[in-house]
Chain A
Amino acid sequence: DAGVIQSPRHEVTEMGQEVTLRCKPISGHNSLFWYRQTMMRGLELLIYFNNNVPIDDSGMPEDRFSAKMPNASFSTLKIQPSEPRDSAVYFCASSLLRGDNQPQHFGDGTRLSIL
């Protein structure tokens, strides 16, 4: 079975540009999470969805960040305009909402570099 699929794997762009990260969760999973990993702050939750509905976006750093989940098989994280401090690895993870011991399955991450 395919795991969580993220694209692109690497993204390098200049500050001020719009960046869109994409995620396809595991089929049948109904919870989706976006995390950001940096050396300074470690792994931080940005936002998560249950059944395509955003539940908690308190981790989204500022209004430049937005996330959508238009259907059960696709989510995007958008940064507009991007800044050098947004450089990080962004992970998407999915899990089953039912069953408390269900683990989160992570994608391979997108390494984002803002010049």
Chain B
Amino acid sequence: AQTVTQSQPEMSVQEAETVTLSCTYDTSESDYYLFWYKQPPSRQMILVIRQEAYKQQNATENRFSVNFQKAAKSFSLKISDSQLGDAAMYFCAYRRPTGGGSQGNLIFGKGTKLSVKP
């Protein structure tokens, strides 16, 4: 069974600095999808960034980028120029592709709580 591990329960970063959140996963499959979701205190789950395993290029969305190391099964999230609004729980998630009996449900890590200091 696939598992997702976030080894940092809590992280802290100074405003305007850069922080990296780590995520590793375990799978025997070669084709899959990875996501980072953000959950602020409002409780809403917000998609931050996604990565297809077949793509070698790391995904980037404005100040958010990932370091995807397929061989190492690692998928870290880098937040540049951190802002106070980035403070939230961040969840890494794995999803198998659809088809072949797999319908694409997400498997989440336990999350990393990010604090941003002014």
Contact = CB atoms under 8 A, between A and B. Distances in A.
Contacts, number: 56
Interface stretch (A21-29, A67-75, A79-87, A99-107): A99-107
Nearest to B91: A43
A18 interface: no
Interface residues of A, number: 26
Nearest to A97: B98
Contacts of A48: 103, 105
A105 B45 CA distance: 8
Interface in B62-118: 91, 97-98, 103-111
A43 B46 CA distance: 14
Interface residues of B, number: 23
B35 interface: yes
B52 interface: yes
A42 B103 contact: no
B103 A101 contact: no
Interface of B: 33, 35, 37, 42-47, 50, 52, 91, 97-98, 103-111
Please list the 4 inter-chain residue pairs (A to B) with the smallest Cβ-Cβ separation, ordered nearest first. A106-B45, A43-B108, A42-B110, A100-B97
